[in-house]
Amino acid sequence: MAKIKISELGKVFNISGKEIIALLKDFGIEKKSTTSSLEDDQLNLLVEILTQKFDDGSPIDMERKVEEPAKEEKPAKKKDKPEAEVLEEPAAPEKESKAARTSRHVDTRANAVDLKKYDEADRIQDILPDMDDSAQGKQKIKKGGNKNKKDKQENLEKIQKPVKQKEEKIHVLIPDEITVSELAERMGKPAAEVIKKLMILGIMASINDVVDFDTASLVAEDMGAEVEREIIVTQEDILFNDVEDDPSTLVPRPPVVVVMGHVDHGKTSILDSIRKTQVTSTEAGGITQHIGAYSVKINDRLITFLDTPGHEAFTAMRLRGAQVTDIAILVVAADDGIMPQTVEAINHAKAAGVTVIVAINKMDKQTANPDRVKQELTEYDLLPEDWGGDTICVPVSALTGDGIENLLEMVLLVADMKELKANPNRNAKGAVIESRLDKSKGPVATILVQNGTLKAGDFVVAGTSIGKVRAMTDDKGRKITSAGPSTPVEILGLSDVPEGGDTLYCVDDERMAKSVVENRKFKLKEEEQNARKLVSLDDLFNQINQGEVKDLNIIVKADVQGSVEAVKQSLLKLTNEEVRINIIHGAVGAVNESDVMLADASNAIIVGFNVRPTNGAMESAQDKKVDVRLYRVIYQAIEEIEAAIKGMLAPQFKEVVTGHAEVRQLFKVSGVGTIAGCHVTDGKIMRNSDVRIVRDGIVVHEGHLSSLKRFKDDAKEVAEGFECGMSFEKFNDLKEGDVIESYVMEEIERA
């Protein structure tokens, strides 16, 4: 059996490793660290003591548990027992010192000592005739006790019969998931035995932890039980009937595609080019009603495009467990190559697990260099097909339309390879793409039908919303009565506005549907009260010790690509036995709302170097309780995260931003330097505060004010909405549009 660490045992019994170290010290065993391994006798001793509360619910009495001798049994009578079966009188235990107890082996196995068989021996003696042993050890029958062998055999069978019944296997029903305590209860075994059996299998679980069917059945069978899988059917299972379709009922469905890329690389131009080449003359001017998704036809086949921001669509859907998109078209400018937002798009696509097709745009330019783009793609594990990989790269020009048709054909080719199919002849299932509250129409939701056919008049459930489909319109704004798989539609009739990513089901039983929605609302309130504990550096060590954190996900943002790579490599080296560091995204630029959404979906912390968050990102991070850490020097971040992992974070200073001002005009003053004419946009600028100068999200200077004036007078502070003049110590390289951020440092102690 693999050695168990003190920290792992602490997780099982929900106590700290320090308490276990103190407990061992009471018995003369010295352990320096919670990562120290336990010897078999030490583990048995601890489990014997700590599991006592599982057996009888009484408080743990460490001295009694170790010093008490095993329960004494009456010695078997010698008159008729074979010599080998005679139970000798145990010697009275001597008082043990603490040092002596350390070498004592406490065997906690369930069948280590079977005292019941000695009880059986006494019962047999009561039924069988009284015997006397002669000096030579021969047995003589006492007067009045004459019985033949047949009578003795019958009496023996009476005694042995119930024993055989006890040996029969227990029949236990086990669901897909079960707690350790419930498993023990169903088998009629102490929870401590189940916990120890799990330890032997290398699984550290406490009495309230949940194990899956395979693990539970392995433990139960190992403990002599016959296992049968218990099928638990909930109201939702009955209502939604979300079972796999018979392959014979499936038909090909259109692929669902999202277009992603850097802001200036032609994503919108490609979408416009696709739409212009696909609309008929009667639909000149393009789509008449924007509903967040639309369909185009090529070679008599449809392709559905999601017209929502790519990052938002991916992250919001993945946060709610919905997988909507099949293919992502990554737009990269042939004259520009991979840019920060391109890297973001690649990481979001990988996280969502969709196939990526690269559209190399702006091929009409003389400076186009597609080979450079392909070379850069290899750095992000996207190897082009013509270079021996499996990533399709299509050269296109959104301006001239060249390559657009070929791009769509490649989408259909990938769709054929993925064998995308659905069953149109069943109740509809779909995903909410967008939703809003319209003043005249009420709750409006854009639905992408994934399976089945949605019809006007159907009763539907979407998250905690419920209602009958009163009207449906397609992506062209036309009223329709039905929509099949991969068809985007806008529906009316829901009771509330559903959330993006919610799954929509068409149901037959309205009464049960209302009951399910009420249960969902109740569970949602409970979840809000017991909101998941997000990872933060302040309590990282405690979460690691309690087993809540095994993987620390980090998003890295920096001012230059070299810093991003350096930080990623340095942070990855901090991985140890307790926690594994995962860099799920790294890019150049300010911390934005997309980063916060990805951090929220992945339970990650954001680490920024020489960058600042946008206003929207900071507000979003506060709402979602995402931990954003900003540094000026790389080694400070490495040291702080390493200290957090080890639980040694010292009291530090907390930065409090007091206000922002925008540089509107610059004045050169001889002997003084550059004076910035500024407008305070929020908060207030204080004379004694520190300041940083931010340009396009990048910090270009951090220091102190040398002067703060209102007109010609010195000012202690300038409030929001007022104009002021500022100059800075040892810095004159100011530009119009720069943002001045004023802040003070407050000393705090970590929780």
Domain for residue 486, yes or no? yes
The rounded mean pLDDT for the chain is: 77
Kindly tell me if the per-residue pLDDT of 141 is higher than 60: no
User: Do 439 and 397 sit in the same domain of this protein?
Assistant: no
Cα–Cα distance, 396 to 590 (Å, whole number): 30
Asked whether residue 237 is assigned to any structural domain, the reply reads no
**Residue 235 counted as domain residue:** no
CATH number, position 299 = 3.40.50.300
Question: Is residue 247 one of the residues assigned to a domain?
Answer: no
The reply to whether 605 and 646 lie within a common domain is: yes
In a domain, 244, yes or no: no
Average pLDDT score over residue span 731-750: 83
pLDDT reported for residue 287? 34
- For the chain, percent of residues with pLDDT exceeding 90: 22
Residues 191 and 158 in one domain: no
Candidate from 12-26, 540-554, 614-628 with smallest mean pLDDT: 540-554
- Could you tell me if residue 248 is inside a domain? no
Predicted local distance difference test score (pLDDT) of residue 77: 44
Does position 643 have pLDDT exceeding 50, yes or no?
yes
pLDDT in tens, 500-520: 778 899 998 888 889 888 988
Give the model's pLDDT for residue 400. 87
Q: Are residues 261 and 374 in the same domain?
A: yes
> Could you tell me if 277 and 363 lie in one domain?
yes
pLDDT bucket at 25, cuts 50 / 70 / 90: confident
Q: Number of folded domains in the chain?
A: 6
Has residue 238 been placed in a domain? no
Residue 241 within a domain = no
Which structural domain, as residue segments, surrounds residue 631? 537-650
Domain at 474, CATH number: 2.40.30.10
**pLDDT over threshold 80, residue 477:** yes
Nearest to 429 by CA among 502, 517, 518: 502
What is the pLDDT at residue 678?
A: 94
More confident position, 197 or 351 = 197
Are 296 and 395 within one domain?
yes
pLDDT on residue 252: 92
Residue 663 shares a structural domain with residue 703: yes
Count the Cβ atoms, other than its own, within 10 Å of residue 145. 12
**Residue found by looking up tokens 């910090």 in the block:** 699
Structure-block tokens of residue 28: 């003369």
Supply the DSSP symbol for 385.
Answer: G
Residues 19, 157, single domain; the answer is yes
- Distance separating alpha carbons of residues 352 and 324, to the nearest angstrom: 9
Extract long-range pairs of 92-101: CB within 8 Å, 24+ residues apart: 93/67, 93/69, 95/67, 96/66, 96/67, 98/26, 98/27, 98/28, 99/28, 101/27, 101/28, 101/66, 101/67
**Per-residue pLDDT reduced to its tens digit, 666-694:** 988 887 788 999 999 999 998 888 899 99
Among residues 594, 616, 650, which one ends one of the domains?
A: 650
* Most confident listed range (114-118, 572-576, 588-592): 588-592
Indicate whether 316 and 384 sit together in one domain.
yes
pTM: 0.50
**Above 50 in pLDDT, residue 103?**
no
**166 band by pLDDT with thresholds 50, 70 and 90:** very low
Domain boundary among the residues 373, 389, 419 is at 419
380 close to 346: Cβ distance less than 8 angstroms: yes
Q: Is residue 195 domain-shared with residue 263, that is, in the same domain?
A: no
Query: For 250-309, what is each residue's pLDDT tens digit?
Result: 999 999 998 888 777 777 788 888 877 554 333 333 333 445 688 888 888 899 988 666
In 3D, which of 12, 122, 16 has the Cα closest to residue 78?
122
Which of 616, 650, 684 is the last residue before a domain boundary?
650
Helix axes 149-166, 116-127, angle to 10 degrees: 150
Task: Give the residue among 325, 333, 479 at the shortest CA–CA distance from 396.
Answer: 333
Which has more pLDDT, 371 or 745?
371
Containing 349, the helix (H) or strand (E) segment is helix 340-352
Q: Amino acid identity, residue 181?
A: S
Do both 717 and 700 map to the same domain?
Answer: yes
Classify 226 as helix, strand or coil.
Answer: strand
Same domain for 27 and 95, yes or no, is yes
- Say which CATH number the domain at 545 has: 3.40.50.10050
- Of residues 744 and 165, which shows the higher confidence score? 744
